[in-house]
Amino acid sequence: MRVGLHDSDNTGFPNYALMKISAWHKAQGDTVEWWNPMLQYDKVYSSKVFTFTPEDPYLPPDTIKGGTGYGIYTTLPDEIDNIFPDYSIYPKVDYAIGFLTRGCIRACPWCVVPKKEGKIRPYRTWQEIKRPDSDKIVFMDNNVLACPHGIEQMREISESGGCESILTRALTHGLLRRRLPGFWVS
């Protein structure tokens, strides 16, 4: 089967869902590549994070669409969500990405996370996220320090000494320093 992937937002940051979809299809023996409107595919997936990203008018009508930009209730099936992402589709990316936790403790009126993901809960360990070929991880958690699991994972990383970790939420910088002295955050 020939599978086309479409990153609707095209931000330059790796699309986690498409990486997992790619890994799952490759494990089934399928050919996976970036979607090209001039080519034919057996299946096309489009992922959109942002609601303001315009729709691509050339996507086939049977495109499988997912991500918050298409609707807050679309999620990956467990067999795809549980697979290790395919980093080969982003050859310049030398770091791992992932979530230690999903959900949030807050209910900010402008945010879809609590509606989409529910209450904060453990999701993965840092060892499950880490790439074997890199010691860099970008955590994409919404509020990792609001969950005991997230704090425990940060402590483990800090004690392991073998992983350069970056949190994408700058607000956690002060909290992390207070809770885990000596832990580096950029």
Could you tell me if 167 and 176 are in contact, meaning their C-beta atoms sit under 8 angstroms apart?
yes
More confident residue, 157 or 62: 62
Of 149, 81, 142, the closest CA to residue 114 belongs to: 142
**pLDDT at residue 104 greater than cutoff 60:** yes
Of 113-117, 161-165, 175-179, the one with minimum mean pLDDT is 175-179
The chain-wide mean pLDDT, for the chain, equals 87
Could you tell me if 1 and 64 are in contact, meaning their C-beta atoms sit under 8 angstroms apart?
no
CA distance 64 to 71: 12
CA distance 182 to 131: 23
Report the half-sphere exposure of 19 (CA within 13 A, side-chain side): 18
110 confidence band (pLDDT: 50, 70, 90): confident
Share above pLDDT 90 across residues of the chain, in percent, rounded to a whole number: 63
More confident residue, 59 or 136: 59
Could you tell me if 68 and 116 are in contact, meaning their C-beta atoms sit under 8 angstroms apart?
yes
Which pLDDT score, from 0 to 100, does residue 164 have?
Answer: 62
Could you tell me if 122 and 147 are in contact, meaning their C-beta atoms sit under 8 angstroms apart?
yes
